[in-house]
Structure 1
Amino acid sequence: MTNSEWITGYNVRTGREVNAATELNLYIDVLFFINFTMDFLVLSIVRRGMKYRLIRWRLILGAVLGAAWAVFAAAFPYLPVIFEMAVTYLGVSTLMVMTAFNLRKPKDIGKGVIALYLASVAVGGIMEFLYQHTKTGYYIEQILRGNTGKAIPFYQFIFLGTGSYFGIRVLLRWLPKLWQAKSNFYEVTMHYRGKEKRVTALLDTGNRLYEPVSRRPVHVVTYEAVRELCESVSEVVYIPFGSVGKSDGVMPGIYLDEMEIRQGDDVKIIEKPLVAVCKKALSAGGEYQMLLHEE
């Protein structure tokens, strides 16, 4: 994320002393390349962990922003420390997640920045281990000094970073499955007229609600969850239902364009799903906003 975060143990700012007798000359292209690569890997981990939609050009642009700031900070080594930290950990990090994942709401941006910090710490810990317990540290120093004859080839350095990425990716993939296999909770992304809304849904094995004419299964979603998604609709279907304490009633239903149901790596796409809108909350604590039909 910054010039010194990925080159662990070395201060790589131009012209600043590393120790009492050593001054490190910085190669800007090397600094940019290393930071871009690591930022891209970290953003990829965040996307995977937060299940953001993959937009490659945005991911690349987010990594470019992080690497560009690293180069800028290196070119001006005498920036006030407080200013540099504020820009790095607040400004640049926020801009990176907003750019990479197209986030707009403050709450979503905050979650994305926190995820970015956690992923950076995880990758940094792995890189620190490799640095301290292998010859990686020596090779990095040679790269920065311009001793290309002794330096580790770029592809080997990238291999180490990529290894860190895939190691964390395996953990993100398999550990949640231990819980998800026993869970009836799903992540659902609803699409309607170019807009999308992501909610948490519960698979309701007791939901046997069907539209009476077409016999299509009906999912139930809260009004709050679809209010912004469906500000105006062209068609409303009224769906009769019965529940405890209310022998009969009707709920308005909407045909969405598409619904993406995800649990871990398992994804199911439903075209033109019918969702009934409920004004009341479906869970007391707000754990979920939708009830999926048992089918």
Structure 2
Amino acid sequence: MIAIDLYFFMNAAYDLTLLCVVGIVARKRLYFGRVLAAALLGAAWSVTALIAALYFMLPSCALWIVKMITYLLCPYLMCLIAYRRNINVMQKIFMREFLLKNIELLLYFYVAGALISGLMLLLKWSGIHIPSWILMPVCSILAVFLWRYITKKEAQEKQIYEVTLIYQDKTFNVKALYDSGNTLMIRKSEPVHVLAPSIWKELIGEDPWKEDGFAVPYQTVSETSVMPGIYLDEIHLKEKAITEKKQQLVKENSKEKVLVLRHVPTGLGSMEFDKAGECQMLLHRDTFD
């Protein structure tokens, strides 16, 4: 006799792991409630199909329909529920264009399932006997934590920060974009942030090169050159939920913290980053490390 509740739990854990892995690989923003609902849908159908196979003598055509639902329709609905927002699934499910857009997710789903199943077989062949009722929940928990880390990192990378620049007796408030592609370094292996020319002129003046400045080497697809650089006295970077870092944190109030960076290498960008003025500075990718 098969324990239906355990079978349901195992399938839910397995589907949850699959959906989290697929979302991470496909770089889809995951919402735990939607992913959990999709996993429960898959588990519910698995139990339904199991009961139908065990207790009913189904004709061959009915078995074929059950297999099509199990291997195509159910996983497809799970992908729709897990990764799509603000969508009427019943209206969209039979649209050819919408179906084609989700074929990639469906393939990811099967590939991830094959890899996880292969891992379980490899462990078994290696003599490492881990019960499925332990392995799958552990994999689910690890996948959820990995998903939370990646989504948090992506949200941080897309965030605009309010930054206060302090240089000698001048203070400017600008908006800075965290740029994961900014890898500029000086010889001391210090990260270099980049300022827009308009802000640079207000800070430094018309002459971009200062006597106490330095050159920052950089390379693009078409050229290798240097940009003028200076050390800003301080940078105050505001964020509502900044994590604890090695740099000094100054708490302004219960909701906002300020990351204070001192003696900060900063270079001059070759052009304005945003004509609308929404971004006047590019933060280095190691700003929060």
Q: Please, what TM-score do these two structures have when normalized by structure 2?
A: 0.42
Q: Please, what TM-score do these two structures have when normalized by structure 1?
A: 0.42
Give the structure with higher Rg (CA).
2
